Amino acid sequence: MQTHHRIIIDNAARMADIDDQSIDLVVTSPPYPMIQMWDALFCMLNPAIAEDLAEDRADGAFEHMHGQLDRVWTELGRVVKPGGVVCINIGDATRTIASLFRLFANHARIITAFHALGFTQVPTILWRKATNAPNKFMGSGMLPPGAYVTLEHEYILIFRKGGKRLFSTAEEKNLRNASAFFWEERNQWFSDVWFNLIGTPQTLHNGNGKSRERSAAFPFDLPYRLINMFSVKGDTVLDPFVGTATTMLAAMSAGRHSIGYDLDPAFQEIALQKIAGIPELANRVIERRLQAHADFIADRLQAGKEVRNFNRRYNVPVVTRQEEMLYLEPVRQIQFIGNDRFKVIHESEAAIQPASFICPPEPDPPRTRSVSKSRQLKLF
- For residue 311, the SS3 value is strand
Q: How far is the CB of 193 from ligand SAM (least distance, A)?
A: 20
Cα separation, 90 vs 120, in Å, equals 18
CB 88 within 8 A of CB 72: no
Is there binding between residue 260 and ligand SAM (CB under 6 A)? Answer: no
Residues 156/226, Cβ–Cβ less than 8 Å: yes
Q: Which of 246, 253, 258, 309 binds ligand SAM (CB under 6 A)?
A: 246
Q: Does 309 bind ligand SAM (CB under 6 A)?
A: no
Q: How far is the CB of 133 from ligand SAM (least distance, A)?
A: 21
Say how far apart CA 24 and CA 238 lie, in whole Å. 8
| CB-based closest residue to ligand SAM | 243
Stretch that binds ligand SAM, among 6-14, 276-284, 308-316, 326-334 (CB under 6 A): 6-14
216 binds ligand SAM (CB under 6 A): yes
Query: What track of x and - describes contact with ligand SAM for positions 29 through 68 (by CB under 6 A)?
Result: xxx---------x---------------------------
Task: Name the segment binding ligand SAM (CB under 6 A); options: 91-99, 136-144, 158-166, 258-266.
Answer: 258-266
DSSP string computed for 38-85: GHHHHHHH-THHHHHHHTT-HHHHHHHHHHHHHHHHHHHHHHEEEEEE
Kindly state whether residue 217 participates in binding ligand SAM, applying the rule CB under 6 A: yes
Question: Between 11 and 206, whose beta carbon lies closer to ligand SAM?
Answer: 11
Spatial separation of the C-alpha atoms in residues 353 and 360, rounded to whole Å: 10
Please tell me whether residue 13 binds ligand SAM under the rule CB under 6 A: yes
- Report cis status (omega within 30 of 0) of the bond before 145: yes
> Cβ of residue 150: shortest distance to ligand SAM, in angstroms?
20
Number of shown-chain residues binding ligand SAM (CB under 6 A): 22
Q: Which stretch binds ligand SAM (CB under 6 A): 5-13, 73-81, 147-155, 157-165?
A: 5-13
- Select the residue interacting with ligand SAM from 231, 244, 258, 309 (CB under 6 A): 244
Q: What is the C-alpha radius of gyration for the chain, rounded to an integer number of angstroms? A: 23
Residues in region 62-121 near ligand SAM by CB under 6 A? 72
According to CB under 6 A, which residues from 139 to 198 bind ligand SAM?
Answer: none
CB atoms under 10 Å from CB of 211, counted, come to 18
- The b/e string for 250-266 (b: 16+ C-beta within 10 A; e otherwise) is bbbbbbbbbbbbbbeee
- 215 part of the interface to ligand SAM, by CB under 6 A: yes
Residue from the set 224, 241, 327, 380 that interacts with ligand SAM by CB under 6 A: 241
Residue 284 identity (one-letter amino acid)? R
Kindly state the smallest distance separating residue 272's Cβ from ligand SAM, in Å: 13
Among 224, 230, 267, 342, binds ligand SAM (CB under 6 A): 267
The one-letter amino acid code at 11 reads N
The answer to the question of residue 258 lying near ligand SAM (CB under 6 A) is: no
**Coarse DSSP helix, strand, coil percentages of the chain, rounded to the nearest 5 percent:** 35, 25, 40
Spatial contact of 272 and 339, defined as CB atoms under 8 Å apart: yes
Q: How far is the CB of 226 from ligand SAM (least distance, A)?
A: 12
Q: Which of 243, 255, 279, 330 binds ligand SAM (CB under 6 A)?
A: 243
Please, which residue, 30 or 330, has the CB nearer to ligand SAM? 30
**What is the smallest separation between the CB atom of 335 and ligand SAM, expressed in angstroms?**
23
In one-letter notation, the amino acid at residue 210 is K
Instruction: Pinpoint the alpha helices (H) of 158-244.
Output: 170-178, 183-189, 211-215, 221-230
Neighbours of 133 (CB within 10 A): 8
Q: Coil, strand, or helix at residue 129?
A: coil
3-state secondary structure of 285: helix
CB of 263 to ligand SAM, least distance (A): 4
Residue 218 as a binder of ligand SAM (CB under 6 A): the answer is: yes
Binding site for ligand SAM (CB under 6 A): 11-13, 29-31, 41, 72, 215-218, 240-241, 243-244, 246, 261-264, 267
